[in-house]
A = this chain, B = another copy of it.
Amino acid sequence: MTFELTILGSSSAVPTSKRNLTAHVLNAHERFFLIDCGEGTQLQIRKNKIRFGKINHIFISHLHGDHIFGLFGLISTFSLLNRQTDLHIYAHKELEHILENHIAYFERKLPFTIVYHHLHPEKNEIIYEDKRITVETIPLKHRIPTCGFLFKEKPHLRNLRKNVVQQYEIPIRERQNIKAGADFKLSEKQIIPNAELTLPPYKQRSYAYCTDTAYSEKIISIIQNVDLLFHEATFTEQLSSQAKKTCHSTAKQAATIAQKANVRKLIIGHFSGRYKDVTPLVEEARKVFNPVFPAEDGEKYVVELERES
């Protein structure tokens, strides 16, 4: 039951020799969700030893080049490797038009189908759901329609304690009810209370991805209590007017959102290339919130399983 984020690229629009363009991969229960796809993403996927075949869902925050120019090469590579599985792309509807034009010219016929899911970046809505995970959009505030993504485990069931199945000879048909909280009727007279049979469930783990965006308090209620928040911090407060003008955030603003949303851990990134050393951004954020981590290409963040108390 992995819940692990890999940072593939942490630069803003102009990459540096150390920072690739934006892309993250979240491995949630062996679903490998690719989030944004800047130029060079397929190379970063390879370098980080993520298997192309595992990537079936791509989430695109907005249609600025630094978040999507890697799609052309990635789709081309999928095609050359003769991918057969459907590829789901969640993005503003214009991307379909852009990609289909591109594919018609460069790829002719793909051996797989792209299933486009048109997003409405101004709304908070569930866009993906399976047995274990939901993904919803987080409306952001940028120069063009943009949304973040909240990845969240569905509620876990309680876990049966070791040996109780043998001890009370619990039939298979009862186990699901017990995991859901029911007591177990051992005989007409003897009822084993649920607390004796089970451990509390694991907490729902969650990851919120918020870039590119100006400071926006509207997102706070949506990302409340997430385990991991990635929030862009393109500039320090010294350049807050530049942040405002370009609809980006300062490190302090990112930390303020983290603090108000009561998240567990904040990762900042999408750093302007002017910061060769990102210490000033981290220090600025840490004055408001802790813990703060600066995104670095190739770094992984694991959210461990933890039981509710």
A interface list, Cβ under 8 A from B: 13-17, 20-21, 38-40, 42-43, 46-47, 49, 64-66, 69-70, 72-73, 76-77, 80-81, 98, 105-107
A93 to chain B, nearest CB (A): 14
Q: By the criterion CB–CB under 8 Å, are B46 and A17 in contact?
A: yes
- Our pick among B47, B66, B76, B106 for the contact of A76 (Cβ within 8 Å) is B66
The 16 listed contacts between A and B (C-beta, < 8 Å) are A13-B76, A13-B80, A15-B42, A15-B43, A15-B46, A15-B77, A17-B43, A17-B47, A38-B73, A39-B42, A39-B72, A39-B73, A64-B106, A66-B73, A69-B76, A72-B72
With A39-B73, A65-B106 given, name 10 new contacts (CB 8 A). Answer: A13-B77, A15-B42, A17-B49, A21-B73, A39-B40, A65-B72, A66-B73, A66-B76, A72-B72, A98-B105
Closest Cβ of chain B to A60, distance in Å, is: 14
Q: How far is the CB of A271 from chain B (nearest CB, A)?
A: 14
CB distance from A133 to the nearest CB of B (A): 28
CA–CA, A16 and B42, complex, Å:
9
Pick the most buried of A15, A40, A80, A106: most chain B CB atoms within 10 A of its CB: A40
Chain B residues closer than 8 Å to A39, beta-carbon distance: 39-40, 42-43, 69-70, 72-73
The answer to whether B73 and A69 touch across the interface, beta carbons within 8 angstroms, is: yes
Across-interface contacts of A77 in B (CB, < 8 A): 13-15
CA distance A73 to B81 in the complex (A): 24
- A73–B20 alpha-carbon span in the complex (Å): 12
Q: List the 6 shortest-distance A-B pairs measured between CB atoms, nearest first.
A: A39-B73, A40-B40, A17-B46, A65-B76, A17-B47, A65-B106
